[in-house]
Structure 1
């Protein structure tokens, strides 16, 4: 409904603002078009609610139009207008545009910094978000609770535990711990960086909790190899009266998968539908297929997929492919790989998994065929790398990497490691080598995987009383898993390895995953 014919700018500004606050975003934009049609020019009060409406409608063209208009009208000098523009681009996942506006601003306040930081964090540009946080501190601007929650998210995403601890200290100093968003972010950050005790401590101290809080802890325990405890936390959550959501059940099913709890997984999969009315999505099916595949129930996994009415994505078929790799079912693996290729032709995972499966079976001709197919289709594999943080500096390693300044020491330490773990009973599993070489050649190839180089550097550089925290972008191979467990034992160290799948807390020759990952 149009405003009365005599309505002026003040009336339109008020109406647009009311609509934006009420979530009537299309109506807010329609009023703006009507206003302009009547010859009224926007001022600095018109544009912020319109920019927010454009962002929440996921309408980049509308935001760009408003941006051009405010530049022509000379309104960019108003701080709250520029802040709204930074925030809009951030919400639209256009961090580059948000940064460009930010850099042009002659004045900034905490809202400006926070809008940019949280936008970068949401977009997954975690290193950039951390740089903004540090720039904020250098500029003498104290963060608000939203900035703290945002940078904690980026600490988790970029595995910066020590920075996360310093942000936690800042949150205490600034009195932000009572804010639910800050508490949730702390629980999530500690869980995602492998500091599970700290996550639990923060959780226990929180005065109020919500579904996000409980879910963060459930997922954290699951990812850190504490599947049974994860299910116990879920029981406590239900008893507390807090209702689980879509993400909670992903965490539960992940916990069941990594603890081998097939019956519990089936029960929770049914419960999400019958007790909570949550329709399972691709993530839930991927967890169920992973659970059944790990347990060797590949036919049941296929039956589940055949009965599904959900549109399945490549993740589900990659989960099936993973189960086939574990149980060496090449025929079904090839079918699963074909499904992945149909859904995501550029995904390198099925090529790598098939190649790994064939190499473990010594089917070198098939390994060559898959690699040739991958090359002919222009698909490239993400290179494996591992990194370890020491005194706030990340040290990155690739397979057989000699680029580190202390490479000579690291390689000597690897040789020492191998000698000591062999004496402790370690026998290389050359099934994990991916080349058709003599056994000693395959063994040498395994010795210089990126995670072993990172562990060797950790032994050299991380104080003896501290755990060695290694992060890997891909899944750790079975032989490295066995070797690093033995390293932890013979050196008397705790080694926390996070791969693409989960955390492995290794101590005294054992791993939190129970060798089931």
Structure 2
């Protein structure tokens, strides 16, 4: 190692001839441990060599470990190679350094060399090796740990639980965890992480509730578990409990909670968290800012999303993608394309996510020729192989624009297997364009290959109902009943005073149900005065006309709008989130309500955002 032209940072006094050698060792050990940069460590190393401590085992061990922790694994390995008869601690430091750098294969190789040299591993060796270890090496290390009698060590056992958990072997992880006589905070958090990652949230919660001490890490694991598995209400509830327990959130916490707010469309809660971050010193770095953009976009507030985006000093491609997708889901196609061009001019290379946003924007606006060009450029210009999401955007674009045969051909000629969402998109377009023959062909294909889901049957039923073929509707209903297939119920939610209120079609469980239905009656009076006729042809049952009208009047989004009208001040924007695509009748009714009340109504359905204002919708009735 070169040590010339390096000025030691040590004061001269500890290294004079009168200094006690142990004092010098202690001083050097202290400086090595306190080194926060590679330059400081090199200066200390130079002083060590100059004063004759180059063979001091403790100092060399500390140097080897510190070089690895500061990212200079090459220096760490060089020191190790100069060590005469390294003991288990030197070997373990070498192994741990490679694990920290993600070089797990190298770590395993050094472990085998250690055994070859007759050095017996200890519990720290196994704890290091088990970090981020794949399943098969993990099993082998488990056997080795048993052989060397360290498998019952708390840290080794926790590492083994983590190795099995990361590989998805929940049973083995659970068995090992249950046999631990002592369970530390780390081991409990490891098992909770395992359960939460694979959706066993009830089991995770039992462990979590049984913990005497909970740090921010275990709170984060539970909150993120709920968020990742589509339980955002539970995530927000747990976040509030975390604040009540006086546990200070960190960056990981807010990333999960902002995602939960985005899923729910809980704008007020998301804004509160944004303010909380600013008031409590949680830095809005590019990662957090991207989460804020995503949250504001999904909560219907593009203005604040763009403000956050514009304030990012060093945007990465993920931040650009988040804003592009945000514009796309709101149907702001020109803004999407403009931002894409700006991104490319700035020197960022598009990713597959970028093209999901671009193709979605083209789909929402019916920009067929531009969509075709972007789809072709993905592979030809940027070398990006289209994924199922990109094909989905193209099928939606082509089929909604009436190019059903082209869309069908695209699906049949794909080099990846079409999923139910893709087929559902095509079936939905068959309904829209009244192409019963193609719809039946697709449905029969899916049923024959056991690919049909509830959406398949509902869409086929829609096709028959639109054509007045009630016999066909009845046949589809019979198939669903025989197969035990349930239709996904329509659910709409609205946030009022930081609380999420959810409604199903015909719901009467809400505490203000009486007032809501009185508001619905008033709305129906307004609609009749405007000469509105309910679009009963979309009702999928052979009912009397008045019965069809009644079933339309209690759709979940209408209940949510009625609740919003009685629960907020006049002029306040009403924001609704629906789990399914908004139906034609509800879309038309919402346009009229926005005109009659002077309210802006923002609705996020399964496909996109609709901004209703003064009797018109941002989608231009193309959705």
Give me the TM-score of the superposition, normalised by structure 2: 0.77
Is 1:113 paired with 2:219?
yes
Partner in structure 1 of residue 366 of structure 2: 260
Is 1:419 paired with 2:525?
yes
Distance 2:134 2:462 in 1: 53
Partner in structure 2 of residue 319 of structure 1: 425
Distance 2:450 2:389 in 1: 16
CA positional deviation for 1:244: 2.6
Is 1:13 paired with 2:13?
no
Distance 1:62 1:210 in 2: 40
Query: Is the Cα–Cα contact under 8 Å of residues 395 and 422 in structure 2 kept in the other structure?
Result: yes
Partner in structure 2 of residue 75 of structure 1: 182
Query: Is the Cα–Cα contact under 8 Å of residues 16 and 32 in structure 1 kept in the other structure?
Result: no
CA positional deviation for 1:267: 1.4
Partner in structure 1 of residue 150 of structure 2: 40
Q: CA RMSD in A?
A: 2.4
* Structure 1 stretch displaced more, 45-54 or 248-257: 45-54
Partner in structure 1 of residue 512 of structure 2: 406
CA positional deviation for 1:53: 3.6
Flag the 1:118–1:45 CA change in 2: closer, same or farther, 3 A: same
Gaps of 5+ in 2: 1-108
CA positional deviation for 1:44: 3.3
Distance 1:150 1:355 in 2: 39
* Structure 1 stretch displaced more, 215-224 or 413-422: 413-422
* Structure 1 stretch displaced more, 133-142 or 340-349: 340-349
Flag the 1:127–1:440 CA change in 2: closer, same or farther, 3 A: closer
CA positional deviation for 1:477: 0.9
Decide which of 412, 432, 457 is 1:351's aligned counterpart.
457
Flag the 1:257–1:422 CA change in 2: closer, same or farther, 3 A: same
CA positional deviation for 1:388: 2.1
CA positional deviation for 1:239: 2.3
Decide which of 503, 518, 526 is 1:397's aligned counterpart.
503
Query: Is the Cα–Cα contact under 8 Å of residues 43 and 75 in structure 1 kept in the other structure?
Result: no
Partner in structure 2 of residue 210 of structure 1: 316
CA positional deviation for 1:415: 2.6
Decide which of 489, 495, 510 is 2:601's aligned counterpart.
495
CA positional deviation for 1:160: 2.1
Distance 1:123 1:440 in 2: 41
Decide which of 64, 86, 105 is 2:174's aligned counterpart.
64
Partner in structure 2 of residue 98 of structure 1: 204
Partner in structure 2 of residue 31 of structure 1: 141
Helix, strand or coil at the partner of 1:504: strand
Query: Is the Cα–Cα contact under 8 Å of residues 225 and 502 in structure 1 kept in the other structure?
Result: yes
Distance 1:237 1:343 in 2: 43
Query: Is the Cα–Cα contact under 8 Å of residues 314 and 339 in structure 1 kept in the other structure?
Result: no
Distance 2:440 2:308 in 1: 46
1:430-488: per-residue Cα shift (whole Å, max 9, x none)?
Answer: 22233334444433332232221221221111222321112222211101101110110
Is 1:127 paired with 2:233?
yes
Flag the 1:119–1:443 CA change in 2: closer, same or farther, 3 A: closer
Flag the 1:47–1:211 CA change in 2: closer, same or farther, 3 A: farther
Distance 1:113 1:406 in 2: 34
Partner in structure 2 of residue 269 of structure 1: 375
Is 1:445 paired with 2:555?
no
Decide which of 385, 389, 397 is 2:491's aligned counterpart.
385
CA positional deviation for 1:144: 0.9
Distance 2:126 2:502 in 1: 55
Helix, strand or coil at the partner of 1:147: helix
Flag the 1:208–1:75 CA change in 2: closer, same or farther, 3 A: farther
Partner in structure 2 of residue 334 of structure 1: 440
1:138-166: per-residue Cα shift (whole Å, max 9, x none)?
Answer: 11001110011011111112332221111
Query: Is the Cα–Cα contact under 8 Å of residues 117 and 132 in structure 1 kept in the other structure?
Result: yes
Query: Is the Cα–Cα contact under 8 Å of residues 571 and 598 in structure 2 kept in the other structure?
Result: no
The structure with the larger Rg is 2
Give me the TM-score of the superposition, normalised by structure 1: 0.92
CA positional deviation for 1:275: 2.3
Is 1:143 paired with 2:253?
no
Distance 1:301 1:509 in 2: 33
1:296-345: per-residue Cα shift (whole Å, max 9, x none)?
Answer: 00011122123221122112111110111110101111122234435655
Distance 1:46 1:440 in 2: 70
Distance 1:261 1:426 in 2: 31
Is 1:480 paired with 2:480?
no
Flag the 1:88–1:180 CA change in 2: closer, same or farther, 3 A: farther
Using CA pairs under 8 Å that are at least 6 residues apart, name the structure with larger relative contact order, 1 or 2.
Answer: 1
CA positional deviation for 1:381: 0.7
Partner in structure 2 of residue 54 of structure 1: 164
